[in-house]
Amino acid sequence: MNFFEHQAAARRGSGRLVLLFALAVAGIVVVVDLVVLVMTGSVGATVAATLATPWR
């Protein structure tokens, strides 16, 4: 395998890792929102948790 084949394989792997990272962040936000909604029953608190989750 030459340099250009290695580079193409690395680019494919990087794209997959970025996608998996985005899915992981979205999953964490959803789980936190569900927990807040069940614990408080408040949609306002859920919106606040949604906005605060990625920044913690």
Please state the length of the chain. 56
Q: Which helix (H) or strand (E) is 41 found in, with range?
A: none
Answer yes or no: pTM beyond 0.75.
no
Neighbours of 19 (CB within 10 A): 10
Q: Quote the CA–CA distance of 54 and 17 in Å, as a whole number.
A: 18
Tokens of residue 17, six digits: 């890792």
Write the pLDDT tens digit of every residue in 2-56. 999 999 888 889 989 999 999 998 898 889 889 989 999 888 888 888 888 766 5
